[in-house]
Structure 1
């Protein structure tokens, strides 16, 4: 773990307690609905605990800020214009810079947020990005569920309950697919649009983009 000046225990998990982390917790609490706030905190706890259990050296402040702020644009009012992950990543990077992170650490926060829903890339990046994505994917789809001891899993879910997350999150994804399909052509929200949103049409596919490139061959 990257050295920090203080730690705290949440749901039995030791995590950093520094001004940037405390501000990120407050910021997420202000911006997120209760179910979503609990999701980002659980994701952080899962990510940090997996890093501890697997003895993965990482910057615990970067991991905390990136994970806690990864969904600050995910709500039914989101209006783009870019992918919700990118919009959130820009906000999170600005937050990190204002909190005193240097350029490299602030960019790591951006990567944590922007890539969290693209595990086929994020899991192979730096430890902070990989752990962030692992914790989030554990909470959303159960990735590495067995990596967290059952007693610790129970404690985390008790202190930060899911509050109908599957249904609430699905509504957010469907809202994005229905109102901003152009932001979904190359990400997982497309799956929700195709399955659950009547009349969903994403526009040009990657096949069209390659075929229509302005070159002779």
Structure 2
């Protein structure tokens, strides 16, 4: 079983500040094991991708954003919005309580709320873009190719996937089944359409055609 100390020993250079350690423990206490491992891998990918690309960024913002980005998939960030937005609100409260100013809190919110919307998030500030890109590496997205396979293998060996594909799909399907109104404009819609009987997304074509205007 890994912990913060063993990770920093295996991956020298990982930032170790009190607020990052708090975020690490906060996530571990609130997420199932497979999801916690996913967010930890995302954080390590962010650190290594930042090095590979020579990026300058706020390491605490990126760490908090990656480590807390999936709180919206748990009961600890319940709310009426899509899961990314629900999670972003809790993460910002965490950051604000630990002294982050308005600008840093905004970066945390954007990084989490937009992490599954790459067409927007990847074009924003380095912290926001790096968070989304690193998270997507754990799903095999294009930045995966920036890593040597040995580096990927080392991260997965240190932080196992724990049936990530199966568990994540089950989580997404549950949201599509129980709260479909929060899924129409994010990737959970795809799980709903593929796997959830009776799921039917809202169509903007129908909304526009049925709007209150005569022409």
State if a TM-score over 0.5 links the two structures.
Answer: yes
Is the aligned partner of 1:166 residue 2:149? no
CA distance in 2, matches of 1:208, 1:101: 43
CA distance in 2, matches of 1:189, 1:76: 17
CA distance in 1, matches of 2:132, 2:10: 20
Contact 2:62 2:131 in 1 (8 A): yes
TM-score with structure 2 setting the length: 0.91
Shift of 1:212: 3.4
User: Which residues of structure 1 form unaligned runs of 5+?
Assistant: 1-7
TM-score with structure 1 setting the length: 0.90
Q: What secondary structure, in the 3-state scheme, does the structure 1 residue paired with 2:198 have? A: coil
Partner in structure 2 of residue 137 of structure 1? 136
Aligned length: 209
CA distance in 1, matches of 2:135, 2:14: 16
User: Which residues of structure 2 form unaligned runs of 5+?
Assistant: 1-6
Partner in structure 1 of residue 4 of structure 2? none
Partner in structure 2 of residue 37 of structure 1? 36
Partner in structure 2 of residue 57 of structure 1? 56
Shift of 1:145: 1.3
Cα distance change on mapping 1:60 and 1:108 into 2, 3 Å:
same
Shift of 1:209: 2.3
Partner in structure 1 of residue 17 of structure 2? 18
CA distance in 2, matches of 1:103, 1:127: 17
Contact 1:93 1:106 in 2 (8 A): yes
Root-mean-square deviation (Å) = 1.8
Shift of 1:109: 0.3
| Higher RCO, 1 vs 2 (CA within 8 Å, ≥6 residues apart) | 1
CA distance in 1, matches of 2:78, 2:164: 21
Instruction: Specify which structure has the higher proportion of helix.
Output: 2
Partner in structure 2 of residue 82 of structure 1? 81
CA distance in 2, matches of 1:93, 1:76: 17
CA distance in 1, matches of 2:101, 2:82: 25
CA distance in 1, matches of 2:166, 2:112: 22
Shift of 1:168: 0.2
Shift of 1:51: 0.7
**More displaced 10-residue stretch of structure 1: 178-187 or 134-143:** 134-143
Partner in structure 1 of residue 3 of structure 2? none
CA deviation map 1:3-46 (0-9, x unaligned)? xxxxx825325221111101100100001111111100100110
CA distance in 2, matches of 1:21, 1:78: 19
CA distance in 2, matches of 1:206, 1:10: 50
